[in-house]
Amino acid sequence: MAGVAGGLAQRLGVDPVVMRLAFVVLAFAGGAGVLLYILMWLLAPENDDAAPTRPSGTQHAAGVGFITAGALLVLRAVGLWFGDALVWPVAVAAFGSAVIYARGDVPHDAPWSRLMARFPSGLAETLGRASPLRLVAGAALIATSMAAFLAANDALAAARNVFLAVAAAATGLGLIAGPWAWRTGAQLAEERRERIRTSERAEIAAHLHDSVLQTLALIQRAGSPQEMVSLAHGQERELRAWLYGARSRSDQAMLGAAVESAATRIEQRHHVVVDVVVVGDRPLDQRLEALVSAATEAMTNAARHSGATTISVYVETTEEAVTAYVRDSGSGFVIDAVPRDRGGIAHSMNDRMARHGGTVAIASAPERGTDVELHLPVKER
């Protein structure tokens, strides 16, 4: 078909018919005639007038593949063989790997030039580029070789049996070790809960020792009932803050925490009771700091001048405004009799609130106590 028999007969000086018959006979000898015909066609020299063609890297790979296949057929024919169940799957897997990883720009060697030029250059260039087609084809060849190897060696049936054996073993192991694992997990969880409870009890004991017990000791040594009440009330506020998480609010600089802190300072400094109620809360900013300062001044005035043992502070926060009320049931005073330049009222309260758009209203009368109202509209953002 390709003129190989005729060319060989001409070179050897025999009848072409005899050469063709020889190839036919060898074809029935394990395919040796066909393999020999293909190899001679690939290795036959080209015509002198043919332009030399430089093969590509993919053509190199294809040529090596054909030569390797031919060598395997020769080894199989002469008996140097490890068995079809091993060799052919390995060969197909190697070919698939070469399809995936072979480079198309390997250096060209002169001895391969005439051999590789026999293959179509267009197909070689297409397959030489890294493409999804090459990846799919190579992966399919590798998967086929693995399946063929397992099927030829009865490994698929063995794999099924192994899977069933592993599943049965896992089930048995679960039945044996499952209750033990469950009990162990429950014990570990109980130990963890006990450690948490122990840590909480230790924290409570430390806080009681550092605060409550110390305050009780101070109350025992207090010189007056008013001082005892002040200490007890301050400890009550601190304990409530610790129990209900007010400490976290103060860390975040909230209005309610700032008022509570100011009331605590007044109690410790003047030994009076300051009852604080805060409805609603807001993050503390510059305007609210002014309101807290004014409320602190009102509490200080009540503690110093009213003679009352209890001061009530009520702070209400709405969407429109923040209002603080400071009341005492002390001696009171005549508002018109207070000088205009009185620092506590003029500067600490009126001026501070006015600078931020707030107002101060004071109601007082002798022997009727004093009410101070601080009103600060919420500034729209």
Distances (CA, A) of 292 to 105, 108, 254: 81, 89, 11
What pLDDT is stored for residue 194 in this prediction? 92
- Mean pLDDT in each 10-residue stretch from start to end of the chain (381 residues)? 66 64 59 64 57 51 62 69 71 74 48 46 49 75 77 63 74 72 88 90 77 75 75 77 60 81 85 89 90 91 87 93 93 77 64 89 89 88 49
Each residue's pLDDT tens digit, 310-324: 899 999 999 999 999
d(CA 377, CA 33): 106
pLDDT of residue 270: 82
- Dist CA 360 CA 364 (whole Å): 13
What's the CA gap between 28 and 21, in Å, rounded?
Answer: 11
DSSP three-state, residue 61:
helix
> Listing from the earlier edge strand, what are the strands of the sheet with 359-364?
273-279, 310-317, 321-328, 370-377, 359-364
Which pLDDT value is given to residue 11? 67
Task: Give CA–CA dist 214/236, Å, rounded.
Answer: 13
Torsion, Cα 323 329 332 335, to 10 degrees, reads 20
Report the pLDDT value the prediction gives residue 93, as an integer from 0 to 100: 77
- Closest by CA to 109, choosing from 46, 71, 55, is 55
Contact 257, 245 (CB under 8 A): no
Distance CA 253, CA 251 (A): 5
**176 is written with which tokens?**
């044996």
Q: What is the pLDDT of residue 109?
A: 44
User: How much is the pLDDT for 104?
Assistant: 46
Structure tokens at 154: 């009865």
Cβ atoms within 10 Å, residue 242: 16
Question: Strands 321-328 and 273-279, how do they pair?
Answer: unpaired
- Looking at residue 123, what is its pLDDT? 47
> For tokens 């060319």, what's the residue?
7
Query: Domain-by-domain residue ranges, the chain?
Result: 4-161, 226-377
Place of tokens 């493409």: 131
The residues pairing with 276 across neighbouring beta strands, listed in sequence order, are: 313
Q: Which segments of 153-224 does DSSP mark as H helices, in order? A: 155-207, 213-220
Q: What is the pLDDT of residue 157?
A: 61
Q: Are 10 and 25 in contact (CB under 8 A)?
A: no
**Exposed/middle/buried for 230, CB within 10 Å: 0-12, 13-18, 19+?**
buried
Reply yes or no on domain 226-377 having CATH 3.40.640.10. Answer: no
Residue 67 has a pLDDT of: 65
pTM over 0.75: no
The answer to whether 235 touches 215, Cβ cutoff 8 Å, is yes
> 365 in helix, strand or coil?
coil
